[in-house]
Amino acid sequence: MKCEGVTANQIKAFGRYLQEEEREAGTIEKYQRDVCAFLNWAKRREISRELAAGWKEHLKKSGFQPETINSKLSALNRFFTFLGWEDCRVKYLKIQHRLFRRADKELTKEEYRKLLDAASGLGKGRLALLMELICATGIRVSEVKYITVEAAQSGRVDVSLKGKIRTILIPGKLCRKLQKYAKKQRIVSGEVFLTRNGKGLSRRQIWAEMKGLCKKVNVPPAKVFPHNLRHLFARTFYRAYQDIVRLADVLGHSSLATTRIYLLSTGVEHARQLERLGLIS
């Protein structure tokens, strides 16, 4: 019975396997969390393709979005491959290519400004600067650790992630802000964004601090998370330069298809585009 072979040690080993594939820490944590969710639902039943398909149906009935379900299935299928249980892998949901994004999920530039003002007004200078960094450069939250005093002085930093190395350029005005902040915090070298104990900020801490601003400025919490700042950067960059290939390079995407997802317009914008066609008498 295959479920008897799944132990806490094997889930940890799965994490090490993903590390060897140079997966991000946040991705590894999510994959392990999704696998544990499946195992808790399975309740020691014999693991099979049919059982995995049953979990997929359970997720659908529970109201998860198709993209979220496929993300969870991806983690589970990866785990099955790690264990050599290829016969247990389950098919993903077929999703039609989206033409537009939900407006209630898109962070606007005005809302971004409100969040910055709120952070500054509450004396959260580190958070305000961190949000500016992500939004002005388009870096991933997992890449914040690469922003050092040395990077702020040179205006650039090489980031190694997912087996690729790319150079991130930091605008001059932002470099000066970073150096001023580091000097105030008495950080002479290394990472700029640190906790009181001198450790790097975790993804979870950054996420929580951003969420804490929502009530102050009446911005929906569903819009406020680090990766949405990256999306705002992408949309702003594209509107300014209309160069998706360059944008893909800046964001570190291997596929233009990924970059296109970042550039989806809202349903409101899509409706206006249809109206401008002038095909209704």
Q: What is the pLDDT of residue 3?
A: 44
Q: What is the pLDDT of residue 268?
A: 64
Contact yes or no for 140/264 (Cβ under 8 A): no
Task: Give the distance from CA 266 to its chain's centroid.
Answer: 19
Q: What is the pLDDT of residue 164?
A: 75
Q: What is the pLDDT of residue 2?
A: 46
Report residues of the chain scoring pLDDT below 70: 1-5, 96-101, 162-163, 265-270
Q: What is the pLDDT of residue 133?
A: 97
Confidence (pTM): 0.71
Q: What is the pLDDT of residue 4?
A: 46
CA distances for 73 relative to 47, 58, 89, 117, 198, angstroms: 14, 12, 9, 40, 37
CA distance 127 to 139: 15
Q: What is the dihedral of CA 74, 76, 78, 81, to 10 degrees?
A: -140
SS (H, E, C) 69-133: HHHHHHHHHHHHHHHCCHHHCCCCCCCCCCCEECHHHCCCHHHHHHHHHHHHHCCCHHHHHHHHH
Q: Which helix (H) or strand (E) holds 211?
A: helix 203-211
Q: What is the pLDDT of residue 107?
A: 92
Q: What is the pLDDT of residue 27?
A: 87
Q: What is the pLDDT of residue 180?
A: 97
Q: Which of 89, 272, 183 is nearest to 192 (CA)?
A: 183
